[in-house]
C-alpha cells in the first residue's frame, strides 16, 4: 500500500506550523511500514495521483494569492471532495473553500466548494480549544487564532466546542466535516496531539484507495499525554 500526500503551497500557507501535520501523517505511516510520498504543490494539482491534500493557513495577502491560484482548478477540487478524496483544510485554507470570505471588509469570491461564508470581526478569538468530535468519538485539542466567524449553514460541524470559541463568538460548534473533508480553524499544528484524528484521516484515504483497511495500533503514550494535558488543564475533572 502507498499513499501520496499533497501539501498545497507550503511556502505561503504555513503560517501556523501546518508542516507538522505532514510530519504526523508520514510518521504514522512509516511506523506501520506503509509507503508514502510527499508532493509539494507549487502550481497545478495532479488530483488523479493525490490521496490526501493539506491546505494550510496564511496571511491575508498569501490567502488571496492561494485563492486566486486555486480558482483555476476549483471544479477539479470540488470533484475531488465529492468523490471522497481526503482533504484537511486549516484556518484561511478552510475559509477559501466557501462561497465568500471577507478581508478588510472586502468580499472575496471563494472556491465555492461549500455553500458557507466567512466574515471578519473586530475581536480576535485566540487560545486553546477543545472539541467533542463524533467522527472519532473522542475529543480533539488545538489552538485557534482568528478574527473570523464562519456560517456553515446546514453542514455538519467538525466538532462541538467544549472549551474555546470555534466558528463564532457563541462558542457552540467548530469547523465542518463533509465526506472525507475536514475544515477547521484549529492549528498548532493540529495532528500531533490528536493521534486518533490522524489515523481517521489515514483510514479514510486508505479505504478509498484499497477498500476496507484496518490500521495496526501504535504506542501513542506521548501523543495522548500531550492531548490529556490540555484536557485536564482547561476542562477540570474531565477525563479523556
Catalytic residues: 91, 187
Asked, for residue 204, whether it belongs to a domain, the answer is yes
Asked, for residue 228, whether it belongs to a domain, the answer is yes
Asked, for residue 201, whether it belongs to a domain, the answer is yes
153-168 residue pLDDT tens: 999 999 999 999 988 8
Percent of the chain exceeding pLDDT 70 equals 98
Asked, for residue 239, whether it belongs to a domain, the answer is no
Q: How confident is the model at residue 19 (pLDDT cuts 50, 70, 90)?
A: confident
The chain-wide mean pLDDT, for the chain, equals 94
Domain count, the chain: 1
148-201 residue pLDDT tens: 889 999 999 999 999 999 888 788 999 999 999 999 999 879 999 999 999 999
> What's the Cα-to-Cα distance from 119 to each of 101, 105, 116, 134, 152, rounded to whole Å?
6, 8, 10, 27, 12
Asked, for residue 132, whether it belongs to a domain, the answer is yes
pTM of the full structure: 0.95
Q: What CATH number is associated with residue 106?
A: 3.40.50.880
Joined together, the cell numbers standing for residue 24 give: 504526523
Triad 14, 142, 100: Cα angle to 5°: 60
Asked, for residue 240, whether it belongs to a domain, the answer is no
Residues 6+ apart with CB under 8 A from 227: 139, 141, 193, 194, 195, 240
Q: What is the DSSP string of the chain?
A: -EEEEEEE-TTTS-TT-THHHHHHHHHHHHHTT-EEEEEEESS---GGG-SEEEE----HHHHHHHHHHHGGGHHHHHHHHHTT-EEEEETHHHHTTSSEEEETTEEEE---SSS-EEEEEEEEEEEEEEEEETTTTEEEEEEEEEEEEEE-TTSBPSEEEEES-TTSTT-SEESEEETTEEEES-BSSSGGG-HHHHHHHHHHHHHHHHSS--PPP---HHHHHHHHHHHHHHSTT---
Asked, for residue 116, whether it belongs to a domain, the answer is yes
24-75 residue pLDDT tens: 999 999 999 999 999 999 999 999 999 999 999 999 999 999 999 999 999 9
Which domain does 71 fall in, by range? 2-234
Please state the φ and ψ torsions of residue 201, each to the nearest 5 degrees: -65, -45
Asked, for residue 125, whether it belongs to a domain, the answer is yes
Q: What is the pLDDT of residue 161?
A: 96
Amino acid at each position: 500500500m502507498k499513499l501520496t500526500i499533497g501539501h498545497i503551497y507550503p511556502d505561503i500557507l504555513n503560517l501556523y506550523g501546518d508542516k507538522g501535520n505532514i510530519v504526523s501523517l508520514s510518521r504514522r505511516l512509516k511506523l506501520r511500514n506503509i509507503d508514502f510520498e510527499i508532493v509539494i504543490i507549487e502550481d497545478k494539482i495532479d488530483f488523479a495521483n493525490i490521496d490526501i491534500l493539506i491546505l494550510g493557513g496564511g496571511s491575508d495577502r498569501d490567502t488571496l494569492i492561494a485563492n486566486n491560484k486555486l480558482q483555476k482548478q476549483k471544479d477539479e477540487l470540488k470533484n475531488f471532495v465529492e468523490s471522497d478524496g481526503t482533504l484537511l483544510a486549516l484556518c484561511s485554507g478552510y475559509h477559501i473553500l466557501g462561497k465568500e470570505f471577507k478581508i478588510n471588509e472586502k468580499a472575496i469570491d471563494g472556491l465555492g466548494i461549500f455553500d458557507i461564508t466567512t466574515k471578519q470581526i473586530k475581536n480576535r478569538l485566540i487560545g486553546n480549544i477543545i472539541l467533542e468530535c463524533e467522527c472519532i468519538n473522542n475529543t480533539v485539542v488545538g489552538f485557534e487564532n482568528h478574527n473570523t466567524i464562519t456560517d456553515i449553514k446546514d453542514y455538519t460541524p467538525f466538532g462541538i466546542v467544549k472549551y474555546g470559541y470555534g466558528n463564532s463568538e457563541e462558542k457552540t460548534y467548530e469547523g465542518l466535516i463533509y465526506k472525507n473533508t475536514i475544515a477547521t480553524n484549529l492549528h498548532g499544528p493540529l495532528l500531533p496531539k490528536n493521534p486518533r484524528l490522524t489515523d481517521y484521516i489515514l483510514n479514510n484515504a486508505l479505504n478509498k484507495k484499497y477498500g476496507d483497511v484496518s490500521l495496526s495500533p501504535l504506542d501513542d503514550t506521548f501523543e495522548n499525554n500531550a492531548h490529556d494535558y490540555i484536557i485536564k488543564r482547561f476542562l477540570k475533572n474531565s477525563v479523556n
